[in-house]
Amino acid sequence: MIGGRRAARLGTAALAAVPLLVLVAFFLYPVGGMVARGFWPGGAFHPGGVWDVLARSRVHRVLWFTVWTAGLATVLAVVLGVPVAFVLHRLSFRGQGVLRTLIVVPFVMPTVVAGVAFRELIRTSGPLGGLHLDGTPTAIVAALVFFNVSVVVRTVGSFWEGLDRRTEEAAAALGASPLRVFGTITLPALLPSVASAASVVFLFCSTSFGIVLTLGGLRYANVETEIYQLTTQELDLQGAAALSVLQIVVITALLVLSHRARRGSPALSRQARRGRRPRWRDTAVLAWSAVVIAMLMTPLATLVEASLRSSDGWTLANYRALQTTGSDDALLVTASSALRNSFVIALQAAGIALILGVIVSYLVSRRPRSGAGRRASGLFDGIFMLPLGVSAVTLGFGFLITLDRPPLDLRTSELLIPIAQAMVALPLVVRTLAPVLTSIDPRMREAAASLGAGPLRVLAVVDLPHAWRAILASIGFAFAVSLGEFGATSFLARDDSPTLPVVIYDLIGHPGAANFGMAMAGSVVLAAATGAAMLLVESFRVTSVGAF
């Protein structure tokens, strides 16, 4: 008996070791290597240098810009998103599924594509050119909001769906008007999920790379683009490392906060009740949601429009040009081969992220009895959330400088980019799967075990039937995210085998209307591919996708 228990414990440890080793080798080691460069400039330990970096006035400007844009974008995303969460998760009407899919599309939209779409929207001759937003912080905030509204909608919505509406009904029967019910009952109950969503959104906004790079130009930089600037342009590794360390510290604190907020909330309800039909008094929120969704779709519509246009009117020439290397040979390979490359890499990344994600989710969904076990499980959960917040630029650059020599020499490995993307997608897979596995009543596993099912059999008869949809959904989600990954990939992609987001970024950097049109067409194709993947994901009806 004791031997059996020890064997089980050993099994758990062995299982936990697999994702931990991968995380150490392909996340902590590269990020650590990057950080070490800052503390040991020229081989000698010199931490004071890091402090000097943080005292620079330019760094202060960058920090302040990061904080206020991320803070403002978070507030706006919450204000815009919460009513939409109500409409998409609390009501029930035809076409709701399509809207739920549309709302996630911006989140998985490649950042480069979104940046391009926004620029197209606000450039002087664009649809919103009259507002003169080009090159302003307003444009950056708007783009950050565009990305993150869906996080609020999904996180708050999936929680809201699980709230017992009879509590609200009881309050209404006691005489509370709908507004009163919302203020005194619904809102206090929703707060943990709003706090959790807000902290994650702040995290995403403050580590946003592609958006700020494409929209901010040289005038505006956040910590993330500053790290990029310092490493690639100014070769100031010490400065970059200092900012990375600061970012890691702040983000770890935020993750802990978000974890606290989430812990207070009940487990995901597995069978959410159907929402009620919209009524007349929902007109205001319905209109609000329509406006928000329209606002989210506008940049995408602009993008499609721009891709179908050239100097002589409507045309498919931009799409045909994807078979070429652009005008003046802007690229080394054709855009279509980059797309193929993107697909292969995203598939590999999704596979890796899934295998690791399933193991991590499985382990964190088993609630250990002992306090120490629970703390270990919580820590384990938290560690795998780290890639959410650590700069993809730091990760990418870390890969470059640490994985190019023994013990891990992967310079020529085909798997370098898939592994990096898998690290980025892993937290999203875990956040999709773990709530579903946690929501399984442990007594079902105990019942199966008591009837003679071994651990594997329990997995097959209890966990798998509950989780297969979430597993398929998380493959699609990881695929979509990998397809659009830009931050880390931009460091690692070789010029002769780039991914589509890298190609798009190259194209908009090259002069010429033809290259620009081709970038638009490439963006539409990329957006369509990620959108299609998300449509598939949405068809599995897993509410934890994109929720935190």
Q: Is 176 in the site for other proteins (CB under 8 A)?
A: yes
Site for other proteins in 351-390 (CB under 8 A): none
Sole window of 175-183, 338-346, 438-446, 453-461 interacting with other proteins (rule: CB under 8 A): 175-183
In 3-state terms, what secondary structure has residue 405?
A: strand
Per-residue binding string, other proteins, 1-20, x by CB under 8 A, is --------------------
Site for other proteins in 132-171 (CB under 8 A): 164, 166-167, 169-171
- Please provide the distance, in angstroms rounded to a whole number, between the alpha carbons at the two ends of the chain: 39
Considering only 92, 177, 283, 323, the residue that binds other proteins (CB under 8 A) is 177
Considering only 3, 4, 95, 175, the residue that binds other proteins (CB under 8 A) is 175
Instruction: Determine contact, residues 78/197, Cβ cutoff 8 Å.
Output: yes
Residue 143, CA distances (Å) to 2, 102, 486 in order: 57, 16, 16
Closer residue to other proteins (CB): 93 or 540: 93
- Tell me 334's DSSP state: -
Instruction: Determine contact, residues 538/100, Cβ cutoff 8 Å.
Output: yes
Instruction: Read off the amino acid at residue 271.
Output: Q
Contacts of 461-468 with C-beta under 8 Å, sequence gap 24+, read 463/362, 463/437, 466/270, 466/436, 466/437, 466/439, 466/440, 467/433, 467/436, 467/437, 467/440
Q: How far is the CB of 5 from other proteins (least distance, A)?
A: 33
Q: How far is the CB of 170 from other proteins (least distance, A)?
A: 4
Closer residue to other proteins (CB): 171 or 346: 171
Q: Is 189 in the site for other proteins (CB under 8 A)?
A: yes
Q: How far is the CB of 171 from other proteins (least distance, A)?
A: 7
Closer residue to other proteins (CB): 149 or 181: 181
Instruction: Determine contact, residues 128/146, Cβ cutoff 8 Å.
Output: no
E-strand ranges in 11-64 read none
Please count the other Cβ atoms lying within 10 Å of the Cβ belonging to residue 355. Answer: 16
Considering only 8, 32, 98, 184, the residue that binds other proteins (CB under 8 A) is 184
What is the C-alpha to C-alpha distance for residues 60 and 49, in angstroms, rounded to an integer?
A: 16
Closer residue to other proteins (CB): 177 or 413: 177
Measured over the CA atoms of residue 487, residue 541, residue 149 and residue 526, the dihedral's sign is positive
Considering only 174, 218, 284, 456, the residue that binds other proteins (CB under 8 A) is 174
Sole window of 55-63, 113-121, 172-180, 321-329 interacting with other proteins (rule: CB under 8 A): 172-180
Per-residue binding string, other proteins, 455-494, x by CB under 8 A, is ----------------------------------------
Contact positions toward other proteins, by CB under 8 A?
164, 166-167, 169-178, 180-181, 184-185, 188-189
